[in-house]
Structure 1
Amino acid sequence: MRYTIKKYAQEDYGVWNDFVAQSQNATFLFHRDFMEYHKDRFEDFSLLVFEEDKLRAILPANKKGNSLYSHQGLTYGGLVFLSKLKAEKVESILDEILYFLKENQFETFYYKPIPDFYFSEGNKAMDFFLMKRGAVLERKEMNLAVNLTTPLKISKSKMKHFRRIENLDLDIFEEENFDPFWEKILEPRLLEKFNVKPVHSKEEIVFLKSKFPQNIRQYSAYRNDEIIAGITIFETKNGVKSQYGATSKIGEEFRALDFLFINLIHKYKRKGKHFFDMGIVDEPNESGYNIGLLKQKEELGCSVYNQDFYKIEIK
C-alpha cells in the first residue's frame, strides 16, 4: 500500500480544517487559524498523508534548519487521523514520512505526541514504531491533569479553605474582555515573579478568541468590583486546559486562584468533560520541576501524566 506525502500549502486550508474537524485525535489548536496566528515565528512545514486520493493523516509541523519539529508553536502535536488507525498503517505512514524527510534533506525529526488523557482509546503506535527505528526519548515532562470521570480527589486542606472563601464576597464571571486579567493580573505578576511575558500577547488572545469563541474562555474572580484572580481556559471536545492562571497579591491572601480552580473543576465535571489539564510543572533547576507548583496541582486533584519528546536521526 503506497502513501503520498505532501507539504501543506495555502490551497489545502479547507481540506486541512475539514480533516481536523472530523478527526478523533485533534483539537482546535490544529486548525490553521490557530496555527498561523504566529506564522511569522515559525516556518511551517506541516504534512498531509494521502492514500491514493484520500487524505488519511496530517502532521502539524515546522522546519528549523535541517530539522522537522512536531510544531513548536503548539502545546502538543503528533500524527492526526480520522479514526483509530491500525498499527500496520501507522507503521507504513511513518516510513513514508521518514523517506519524505530524507528526500527533502532533513537530518532530524522531533516528535511531540498529544498526552494520553486527551483520548478515550490508546494512541501509542507511532511512539512504538519511532523507537523501533532508532528514535530516542529525548525528555519527559510531568503534565498534571484531573480525571473528571472519577471521583474528585481535592485535598482536605484545599476544601477547608474553599468553604471558608465561599462565605466571602467573591464573584466569578466569564468575561469577553481580556483587558482586566491581562493588564492588571497576568502581565504584571509574570513580570514581577518570573521576569517573563505571557506566550500570547493580549492582542493575540483577543484575535484567537474571535476565531474560536466557544473554545477560548476567560474566568475571573472579583472582590468589591476589583479583579483578584483569573484563569484562561482552552476548551476542547473532551476536556479543558488552563492556559493561564494568576492572582494578585490581594488574591493570594484570599486564595482566590484555588477558589476559581475548584469552581471550574466542578463546573466542567458537571458538563461531562473527561479531564482538566493544568499543564506542565517543569523548571530549569536541579530537580527539573517546580516543587511548589506540583504540590498545588496535586492538592487540586491532579495526577501526573507524561508529555514525551522523541528525537530520531534521518538516515
Structure 2
Amino acid sequence: MAEITVRRYTAADAKKWNDFIAKKSRNGNFLFDRNYMDYHADRFPDCSFLFYKKNDICAVIPGTLDADGVFSSHAGLTFGGFVVGASVKTMDVKCLFDLLDAELQKLGAKKVIYKALPWIYAERPSQEDLYWLFRKNARIRARLISSTIEPKVTQPSSKKKYYLNKGNRLGLLFAESKDFSGFWDLLDSCLQEGHGAHPVHSKAELELLSSRFPKNIKLYTVTLNGELLSGSVVYISSQVAHAQYLASSAKGRSLNAMDFLMMNETNAFPEVRWLDWGTSNEEQGRVLNEGLVHQKEICAARGVAYDIYEYDL
C-alpha cells in the first residue's frame, strides 16, 4: 500500500481540487466544486484537506471547523465525506481517517460530524467510509429518508397517471424556466406560510449558483396561461437528478399542479439513473411529514437514507 500524506486545502489548490472532483473521483459531485462550495465561505470558513499518494491526489474531504472545535464535512452542504479516487481501497480509507483525525487534533478540534454520501450519488461503490465509521464507534446523529425513483424501470401509480392526464386536459404546461426569481418568491411564500421559514439559499445565491452551473442547476415549472403554479429546482449530477426545492401555489394545489410536475419530471432526465425528490423530515429525521412522503410514494418513489454520523476526537 503506497504511503498516503495529507495537507490542508488552500485557495491555490482550487483547480487541482476541481479537476479531481470532476475527472478522477468515483463519488464526486458538483456540490464539491470550489465554485459551489465557496459561495458561502463567509458563513462556513473552510477547513478542507487533500490526500496524496506520491504526487497525485487520491482523496479529498470538504470541511468546516467552527469555534467550538466541531469539524463538519460539510456544515454548508447536504452531504460530504471523503471523495476518493479509483485507487483507494478499504485499508486506504482507514489511513484517511487516521490522517484526518491527527490533523484535526493539531487544530484543537474535539468532534467530527460526517455527512455520508447517499449511495445513489456514487458512480462506483464507495462506502468504505461507513465501515470505518462503524469501527470507530461513530454514532448516528441524524437519519433522513429521501424519496427516490428509478424512472427507466419503475411505473408510477394509476392515480398519478390520472393527474398527468388531468393536467393535460386543463392545459397545464410543464417546461424548463429561467425565472429563478419568480420561483424563489413562490417558494418563500410557501415556507413562510407553512413553517415561518425562508429558503436555505437567498434569491441572489440561487441566481448566482444557477449561473455558475447552468448544466447542473435547472428550474422546471408548471404554468397555466403564463401563471406560475408550481416549480422545482433540480440539481443534476452524474447519477441523480435531485429536487432541491419544490413549491406550489394555492391555486396550483387545487389543480394538482405538483403531481403534474412530478409525473413530467420522471421523463425529464434520461441521462441519469435516479430521480430523487428529497427528504420529508424535520428534527434531524425524528419527525416524518407523512403527507409529503405519501405524495412522493404514490409516484412510486421509495426510501434512501441520508445519514449523518459523529464521533469524538
Q: Give the shorter-chain TM-score range.
A: over 0.9
- 2:16 alignment partner in structure 1: 15
2:140 corresponds to: 137
* CA apart distance, 1:287: 5.6
Q: Which residue of 1 aligns with 2:57?
A: 55
Contact 1:44 1:63 in 2 (8 A): yes
The aligned amino acid for 1:140 is R
Percentage identity across aligned positions?
Answer: 29
**Maintained 8 Å contact 1:46/1:61:** yes
Question: In the alignment, is the contact (CA less than 8 A) between 1:148 and 1:273 conserved in 2?
Answer: no
Kindly report structure 1 stretches of 4+ aligned residues shifted beyond 6 Å. Answer: none
- Tell me the residue number matched to 1:298: 297
> What residue is the counterpart of 1:310 in the other structure?
309
Q: Which of 155, 158, 161 does residue 160 from structure 2 map onto?
A: 158
Over the aligned positions, Cα root-mean-square deviation in angstroms equals 1.7
- Please say if 1:78 is aligned against 2:78: no
Q: Deviations over 1:25-55 (max 9, x none)?
A: 1111000010011111112101111123221
> 1:75-116 CA deviation, whole Å, 9 max, x = no partner?
111100222621121122221112222222211111111101
Q: Is the 8 A contact 2:26 2:124 kept in 1?
A: no
Q: How many Å separate the matches in 2 of 1:278 and 1:69?
A: 25
Give me the TM-score of the superposition, normalised by structure 2: 0.94
- The count of corresponding residues between Structure 1 and Structure 2 is 310
Gaps of 5+ in 1: none
CA distance, structure 2, for counterparts of residue 179 and residue 91 of structure 1? 45
How far apart are the structure 1 equivalents of 2:188 and 2:249? 11
Note closer, same or farther for the CA distance 1:20–1:275 as it changes in structure 2 (3 Å cut): same
Q: Using the TM superposition, give the Cα deviation of residue 119 of structure 1 relative to its aligned residue in structure 2, in angstroms.
A: 2.5
Amino acid paired to 2:225 = N
- Separation (CA, whole Å) in 2 of partners of 1:80 and 1:188: 36
Residue 181 of structure 1 and its aligned partner are, at CA, apart by: 1.3
Match of 1:176 among 169, 175, 178: 178
- Equivalent positions of 1:230-241 (< 5 A) are 230-241=231-242
1:265 alignment counterpart: 266
For the 8 Å contact 1:228–1:248, the answer to whether it is kept is yes
Contact 1:174 1:219 in 2 (8 A): yes
Closer, same or farther: CA 71–313 of 1 in aligned 2, 3 Å: same
Matched, 1:69 2:72: yes
Secondary structure, aligned partner of 2:268:
helix
How far 1:176 sits from its partner (Å)? Answer: 1.7
Instruction: Quote the residue 2:223 is aligned against.
Output: 222
Distance 2:271 2:254 in 1: 32
Deviation digits for residues 131-165 of structure 1 (CA, Å, limit 9, x no counterpart): 2122122221112111234222x122222222122
Q: What is the aligned partner in structure 2 of residue 96 from structure 1?
A: 99
Give, in whole Å, the separation in 1 of the partners of 2:59 and 2:285: 39
Q: Which residue of 2 aligns with 1:283?
A: 282
